[in-house]
Structure 1
């Protein structure tokens, strides 16, 4: 094979919706806020003998705020996706990058999911299922209208693509 015959994997070009940053921050705050609240209430209700509960509550609160401030912006920078007539490409991660490629001929189902929090941020997740043992490919943090258009486009392309999807 000559140097001209080599196919290089390039980064996918699609970015997520900017609102995904707020969605991820809210998830972090909810995830850490619930245990902080439980520890704080227990510390208050059990009185001075259990005031030590305030220490882990404070540590967890600071860690949760730091993670909510840092990680969502970072994830937004490194998550990429793209759909071509041949495949769906998704790249996630910075330290441990994961590239997932689903050829159109292998796609079995295309779903859009909008949980309550995603609905509040007008976002959706597109899930592309194949027969792969690695599981489905998810593109999270898309504008809900773009996600619907993408699901429709993928359905159209896979219907016209020969293959057995197994």
Structure 2
């Protein structure tokens, strides 16, 4: 770099809300519970395949419980986000880290989404849409009030930022 100082990308400062761990854990348990119940009911009804169906239900339940115990806490440790006056920064992943940076001049829309489960945990997801072929930048597991404030802040910053948002 001739005459320029190297700019180092630092990790974004913010983590999801602590309640996101319980939200992610509940998602795992619900996704696992449906096939476990189906296999268990079929195992109870179909005598010839009972052993295999109940064994499958037990194995799936064990895997689901293990994933629900491990992954949400891990995701909480690796998900980071930050909003500055210049850009929105998101980092996800551990083995394969992904950094997403959306400059304010490129932001087209800001959406706040609260699914039923997120509402139960008082959480929200902020989706920042840009002209990028990679797709929107999402900030998940945010406190619902923080998400609303963030969407308002982003709207004000992008309104006052020169650029074409294309």
Question: What SS is found at the alignment partner of 2:15?
Answer: coil
Alpha-carbon offset, residue 3 of structure 1: 8.2
Alignment map for 1:35-46 (pairs within 5 Å): 35-46=35-46
Alpha-carbon offset, residue 40 of structure 1: 0.2
Superposed CA offset, 1:103-150 (max 9, x none): 000000000000000000000000000010000000000000000000
The equivalent of 1:50 in structure 2 is 49
Number of positions where the alignment pairs a residue of Structure 1 with one of Structure 2? 165
Long gaps (5+) in structure 1: none
Alpha-carbon offset, residue 4 of structure 1: 6.5
The equivalent of 1:20 in structure 2 is 20
Alignment map for 1:63-142 (pairs within 5 Å): 63-142=63-142
- Structure 1 stretches of 4+ moved >6 Å: none
Question: What SS is found at the alignment partner of 1:54?
Answer: helix
- Range 3-12 or range 14-23, more displaced: 3-12
The equivalent of 2:151 in structure 1 is 151
Alpha-carbon offset, residue 2 of structure 1: 5.7
Give, in whole Å, the separation in 1 of the partners of 2:126 and 2:14. 13
The equivalent of 1:5 in structure 2 is 5
| TM-score with structure 2 setting the length | 0.97
Question: What SS is found at the alignment partner of 2:134?
Answer: coil
Give, in whole Å, the separation in 1 of the partners of 2:133 and 2:55. 43
Give, in whole Å, the separation in 2 of the partners of 1:26 and 1:99. 26
Long gaps (5+) in structure 2: none
Aligned-CA RMSD value: 1.0
Give, in whole Å, the separation in 1 of the partners of 2:44 and 2:132. 51
